[in-house]
Amino acid sequence: MTDPSAADRTRRPDGDDDEGPREFVKYTFYKLRPEWRRLPEPERRRGREALVRVLEDPAPGVLVRTYSTVGTRGDADFALWTIVPDLATLAEFHARILGTPMGGYLDTRYSYLGMARRSEYLGEHAHPGQEGGGRRPFDLPFLFVYPFVKRREWYSLPFEERRRMMGEHFRIGHRYPKVRIHTGYSFGLDDQEFILAFEADSPAEFLDLVSELRPSEASRYTLLETPIFTCRKVDAERMLALAEGLP
């Protein structure tokens, strides 16, 4: 729905932009090893409680949201959406996760890193939360996450031509005001160019939006937009219980 590209005309030399500090955003998908489920229940309970404490009481400046992917992905059991001011803080937070008893039984299946900034295609026109300007979660029931890469030909097009095509993208998106987008820019930071996340009240809303975007002109320049993760928002305790197969 949004496709910010190379130059950011709102960025200042200090690394901030006109919307505030450019924070790091991270989406991490974990798979719980089967060996954990075979441990005695008291040991597992203590392990869950230790990890819940880390997730519910992160370091100052760390924002965490927890999601279950049980039933929607076969290769991941849960996801963490983390927003941090710097990479050192991000590393320390994830080290705390790995250092818990349960952390020793977690495999990181997917990991996506980006930074937030405003789309260069917006100009003076923007619908809050719909073109990637949102810096904080809206805490809607569902989150849809995927890496995104454009074909190189896209960047050789004149800027005004790209803006015209993205205008169609935005107009389609405005027909789905309850779907909120968060764009992470990953150029030089990770394997993808962008990491896109959409919050919605229901999967049907997002499915209809993506279906309508498929014939758009800008979509012809998409190179990669998989894997796609459908995530259900739950608290940390329920997230881990679902990963263990507990009712």
pLDDT tens for the chain, residues 1 to 247: 444 433 333 333 344 454 557 899 999 999 999 999 999 999 999 999 999 999 999 989 999 999 999 999 999 999 999 999 999 999 999 999 999 999 999 999 999 999 998 777 765 545 554 444 446 899 999 999 999 999 999 999 999 999 999 999 889 999 999 999 999 999 999 999 999 999 999 999 999 999 999 999 999 999 999 999 999 999 999 999 999 999 8
The answer to whether residue 146 is catalytic is yes
**For residue 19, what pLDDT is reported?**
53
The pLDDT score that the predictor gives to residue 123 is 57
Positive or negative: CA dihedral 205, 209, 212, 215: negative
Burial 190-211 (b: 16+ CB within 10 A, else e): bebbbbbbbbbeeeebbeebbe
User: Would you say 112 and 186 are in contact if contact means Cβ atoms under 8 Å apart?
Assistant: yes
Residue entry with tokens 């050789």: 156
- Supply the CATH classification number for the domain 1-247: 3.30.70.1030
- Report how far residue 209's alpha carbon sits from residue 219's, in angstroms, rounded to the nearest whole number: 13
Q: Which of helix, strand or coil describes residue 116?
A: strand
Query: Cα separations (Å) of 89 from 24, 61, 100?
Result: 10, 8, 17
**Alpha helices per DSSP H over the chain:** 34-37, 41-56, 87-98, 152-156, 159-173, 203-213, 236-244
d(CA 13, CA 189): 19
The pTM of the whole model exceeds 0.85: yes
- E strand or H helix at 29, and its extent? strand 24-32
Give the pLDDT confidence score for residue 135 in this predicted structure. 67
* Candidates 67, 112, 121, 146; catalytic one: 146
